[in-house]
Amino acid sequence: MITKKRLAAGALGLLAALACGLISPPAALADEPAKESPKVELVLDVSGSMRARDVDGMSRMAAAKQAFNEVLDAVPQEVQLGIRTLGATYPGKDRVVGCRDSQQLYPVGPVDRTEAKTAVATLRPTGWTPIGLALRGASKDLSGGNATRRIVLITDGEDSCGRPDPCDVARELAADGTHLVVDTLGLTLDRKVREQLSCIAEATGGTYTAVQHTDQLSTRIKQLVRRSADAPVETPAAVEGARACRAAPSLGAGLYTDREGFGERRWYQVQVKPGQELRAGVSVGADRAVDPNYGVLVRAVDAGGRELVRGQESGNGRTDVVSAGLRYPIAEKEDDEEARTICLEVTHSFSAPPSVKRSPGLPVELAIDLVDTDDRPMDAAAFGLGRGWVLLAVLTVTGLLAGLLWGWLARWRITIWRSN
């Protein structure tokens, strides 16, 4: 029988062995590589329109500076932070020069708060708004290693240069497969600005936020910086799609890689619960010489084979990768908790000369996300309000009610006229 004295003696012996180095830690723990620090770059619009004084009685530039100082004081120690500007140095009217105006103000790395604040204090609203150029520059600033990467873009206007188009640049960054997220913050409620910033964010899996007050700006940037520290690095998992939906592998939220041959199609299953929105993105890489005309298609169908929604992209000319995506929400109903089986079909129309090898197939990366619809603002288009028959029904009912009201008012006026 094991006595208390023997247990105590055994514990003391174990502690002594550890202290003397006789017992080494498990090899897996000893050899485990240290986690890389997440990288974040704040991209600030310093164009002339930032002079406008409509943020809590101060200029947009002053509000941004104040928010940046608060953010720099709160940066987590493990985060590598950098700052890039756009429109900060050229005050002239030469479009070519103005659309090249983007520089890194503070390099990505451990933050020296005094140095970073001093750099921010020198900024003055100056020039153009080359957002696309700045996004490409920020991507290069964050390159290298396997750390999580995030760009936070703060601007009060849409891109004033046109080329490169910011939405196209965001799609390029998403197609690179480096899992770079771009979050956008707009200092104005202008519709065109909102549409462009939403496009940039959605292309990379980021968020768009409209900001009207300094405390909102500071709070939101802090949240995004902290989120980068909490986000794990996602390594794509290998998966093999099936030739039919019924035999397809069931996938959860995550990143997956596969190979798809010329003229082939692959199927995958996703379980989506009521109250969730399925977001799926597919990228097909051209890792060999292919013909100039190509396209990628991803379809979502229900268990009965009925198409729910599709996303597609095509092109002509040389390319390295083509991406397409879709979104499909399932409305939450009372006493309905059963998940729906959604089948995803992925196919491409790449072709190649006879001399090009056919095996293995072209690399495919599939990104799947399941978002609770209660966690994001209501998107009428995403829920079907702009999907043909629903919009027609709404307009029909509205017209009927308006007609009844108008008819009642007309009869009432006639009755009053006759009585007089």
pLDDT digits (tens, 9 = 90+) for 95-126: 899 999 999 999 999 999 999 999 999 999 98
Asked whether residue 176 falls in the same domain as residue 259, the answer is: no
Which of 230, 257, 292 delimits the end of a domain? 230
Q: Which of 230, 258, 289 is where one domain is finished?
A: 230
pLDDT tens for 160-211 read 898 889 999 988 888 776 678 899 999 988 889 889 998 898 888 788 888 8
SS3 state of residue 192: helix
User: Are 245 and 162 in the same domain?
Assistant: no
pLDDT at site 383: 33
HSE (CB half, 13 Å, CA atoms) of 76? 16
| 324: phi then psi, degrees, rounded to nearest 5 | -145, 155
Of 69-73, 332-336, 381-385, which range is least confident?
Answer: 381-385
> Does one domain contain both 219 and 256?
no
Q: Which of 359, 375, 391 is the last residue of a domain?
A: 375
On whether residue 3 sits in a domain, the answer given is: no
- To the nearest 5 percent, what fractions of the chain are helix, strand and coil? 35, 30, 35
Enumerate residues 6+ apart whose C-beta is below 8 A from 149. 38, 39, 40, 142, 178, 179, 180, 181, 228
192 and 44 together in one domain: yes
Whether 215 and 80 share a structural domain: yes
pLDDT band at residue 335, thresholds of 50, 70 and 90? low
**Surface-to-core class of residue 418, CB atoms within 10 Å of its CB (0-12 exposed, 13-18 middle, 19+ buried):** exposed
401 assigned to some structural domain = no
Query: Which of residues 330 and 388 earns the better pLDDT score?
Result: 330
For residue 15, what pLDDT is reported?
37
The pLDDT value recorded for residue 82 is: 95
Range of the domain at 199: 39-230
**Which pLDDT score, from 0 to 100, does residue 317 have?**
77
Looking up residue 294, the CATH number of its domain turns out to be 2.60.120.380
Same domain flag for 280 and 312: yes
103 assigned to some structural domain: yes
φ/ψ of 408, rounded to 5, equals -65, -40
145 and 256 inside one domain: no
pLDDT tens, 344-359?
999 999 999 988 888 8
Nearest alpha-carbon partner for 286 in 323, 242, 234: 323
Q: What is the pTM of this model?
A: 0.55
- The answer to whether residues 72 and 198 belong to one domain is yes
Residues 6+ positions from 152 with CB-CB distance below 8 Å: 40, 41, 42, 43, 182, 183, 184, 185, 221, 224, 225
324 is a domain residue: yes
Task: Please tell me the predicted confidence (pLDDT) of residue 110.
Answer: 94
User: Is the predicted pLDDT of residue 285 greater than 50, yes or no?
Assistant: yes
pLDDT tens, position by position, 214-260: 888 998 899 889 888 776 556 678 899 999 999 999 998 888 989 99
Residues 259 and 114 in one domain: no
Q: How many distinct structural domains can be found in the chain? A: 2
